[in-house]
Amino acid sequence: MNKKHEFRMKVRYIDVDGMKIVHNSRYFVYFEEARLDLVEKENYPYKQIEDDGFIVPISESRIFYKKSIYYGEEVAVITWLEYLKNFSMKFKYKIVKDDGAIACEGYTIHAFIKTDTMDFIELPEKLKDILIKYVENS
């Protein structure tokens, strides 16, 4: 279905560094906020995922920085998936500035781990059900 999730946020003062721009590490926090907002909007909030006994640790993360982001800006973090596989999934992100310019593009790759044994498991059905519509070209 190629659905994309949009998470709008106001850039916080605490996130800018001594150059008065959002620090490179904070982009990953914005990605996380968008991802957690997506699952919550799909009625499968992070707390429920935890209660269901698994976690989705990140195995790889990457960002291509295009334009600086400043305090007070309202930005949109667009989130979707490149793939959903048996043992991994890849989220893609784009942060769009108020004027439409792209601030960055990036992705995070996740695995699935059962909390009690800390063993890798296959993609849980419940997660697949809510995410499948965000997979591109699917």
Contacting positions for a second copy (CB under 8 A): 12-14, 16-20, 23-26, 28-29, 32-33, 36, 40, 45-47, 55, 57-65, 68, 71-72, 108
Q: How far is the CB of 138 from a second copy (least distance, A)?
A: 25
Q: How far is the CB of 59 from a second copy (least distance, A)?
A: 6
Q: How far is the CB of 130 from a second copy (least distance, A)?
A: 17
Q: Which is nearer to a second copy, 18 or 100 (CB)?
A: 18
The two three-digit tokens of residue 30, written as one number: 């914005």
Q: Which is nearer to a second copy, 39 or 135 (CB)?
A: 39
Q: Which is nearer to a second copy, 36 or 130 (CB)?
A: 36
Q: How far is the CB of 101 from a second copy (least distance, A)?
A: 15
Q: Which is nearer to a second copy, 79 or 108 (CB)?
A: 108
Distance, CA of 136 to CA of 138 (rounded, Å): 5
Q: Residue 94: beta bridge partners? A: 78, 105
Distance, CA of 131 to CA of 94 (rounded, Å): 17
User: In sequence order, what DSSP letters do the residues of 13-73 get, joined into one string?
Assistant: GGGB-TTSSB-TTHHHHHHHHHHHHHHHHTT--HHHHHHTTEE--EEEEEEEE-S---TT-
